[in-house]
Chain A
């Protein structure tokens, strides 16, 4: 903001932005602080510093099972969504203008039009109706539906930035279609694919609104497990779980910044 033009408004806006950032950080920092507190209840202020709660949850079979389940489901769903989404994005960009392609693109992005909670509910009714009763399969299907549009959007965006003449040049110089694509185009869109995959992975990892419909006593993805524990357990172990997930989230953000830059991956 230009000091000369905005004058005192600049300071006011800066101050408000600072307060807003504190608002954003506050609940995250509070749960971090409480996760380090030795007291038996999740209360403020923390009474000291200990890693005992982290040790406790890392030895908890239930927590590790939920964490493992969430990671597994997220990886499988992201992989399937990439397998389906990347070729589709390529076709959308290169085949733009073909009859039916606009409709195909709209269909591939259509899950964005419905709240995820409702997408999950409709899938629950559909799977009950068709008799597909495997919880893990149903959850993964739901995740894939939700993340396909994200993959498509990020990959389409990065494909649009690729200069097609480079691939043509490779073809002219004797590369086969496949080699030209792999060595020229794929390399250029790799950061975009990675960014999309990371986002898709985090969306699946954090997903509660699909899982809630399919969860049962044995199969509890992490967000569901944490929400169930909140009703019955009042010690800082949930704060410690938050701490573990904050660490995962921070790694992902740093990776995003490294790969494509936060600004670009957010479309600013």
Chain B
């Protein structure tokens, strides 16, 4: 189909992109990585090479606390996204023509709306005074004038992140569901499985690759988020991204900020690796492998 007539031409066509990314992406990452091993002095960033920035991350309780909050918020967001996203994905993949079309438009449309705008909407919804939408509604239902104080809490950040990253769960899930052969559902039904058993023992295991892909993307994006915790979390639900920004733009400690950034990336890959290992059915006994013999697709682009 494709002739290898001009290998040189093909390599030349990729040259601008390759050179650009080598200079504008790979080199900066190397610079950041090396600066995390240096020290900030009054003259600038200087030698000697040291691990002290990383020790400071491990050694200071505050930073450990922020890492813990980051992990917790990301985990809750991921689980909620799975719970909220699965019904929508079912509708997209198996619903009637009108409902499924509506569902996909509603899921995809927010993707093109700025995170700042969506988060602003949440700040109006959750506002801690009587004119917040949630409080106003609850007051009219008889729950007292100011029933909730959700702004500037982890709950607010989880809700905001769930809203921002839900499409990243729904899209892989619905393509996984769409790939399940309807005959399998038909067969299970014929053999007497009711709806619950069908979902739990047939659909869920068959969709495992989609679930893992979605969960990995949602977790990774939430753990690296900056806007949502900055607006909805305030100083009470600070995440790693906000800490990095503070260290770089306010404290001006670039080596330490870089070390925090490296820690964030390692954390994300660590959790992803761990989850990948835990859910890989290879090391489980044969009986518990279920139907999900396909391995999760290798994730490319889980972080953008």
Residues on A lying within 8 angstroms of B by beta carbon are 1-2, 4-10, 13-14, 16-17, 20-21, 23-28, 30-31, 34, 41-45, 83-85, 87-88, 90-101, 104, 107-119, 121-127, 129, 141-142, 144-146, 148-150, 152-153, 164-165, 202, 205-206, 208-209, 212-213, 222-223, 226-227, 230, 238-239, 241-242, 245-246, 249-250, 252-253, 257, 262-263, 266-268
Contacts and interface: CB of A to CB of B under 8 A. Distances in A.
B248 A121 contact: yes
B124 A109 contact: no
B120 interface: yes
B133 to A, nearest CB: 4
Max chain B Cβ within 10 angstroms of own Cβ: one of A24, A85, A112, A152 = A24
B54 to A, nearest CB: 16
A217 to B, nearest CB: 13
A99 to B, nearest CB: 8
Most chain B Cβ neighbours within 10 Å, of A13, A34, A164 = A13
Interface in B132-155: 132-133, 136
A111 B182 CA distance: 38
A26 B303 contact: no
The listed residue with most B CB atoms (<10 A of its CB), out of A153, A206, A223, is: A206
B248 A124 contact: yes
A91 B14 contact: yes
Contact of A98 (B10, B20, B174, B257): B10
Interface residues of B, number: 104
Cβ-closest 9 pairs across A and B: A27-B121, A9-B195, A115-B224, A95-B10, A43-B131, A112-B301, A126-B28, A5-B189, A16-B87
Nearest to A105: B14
- Main secondary structure on chain A at its contact with chain B? helix
Given A17-B87, A268-B171, A28 B166 contact: no
Nearest to B303: A115
Nearest to A43: B131
B42 interface: no
A173 to B, nearest CB: 17
Q: Which of B1, B28, B301 has the most CB of A within 10 A?
A: B28
A123 to B, nearest CB: 5
B250 interface: no
Contacts of A262: 104-105, 108
A87 B2 CA distance: 16
Q: Residue among B99, B103, B195 with the most chain A CB within 10 A?
A: B195
Contact of A27 (B14, B106, B122): B122
Nearest to B29: A122
B107 A115 contact: no
Contacts of A222: 114
A14 B301 CA distance: 31
B28 A5 contact: no
A91 B11 contact: yes
Contact of B21 (A26, A44, A108): A108
Contacts of A122: 25, 28-29, 31-32, 261
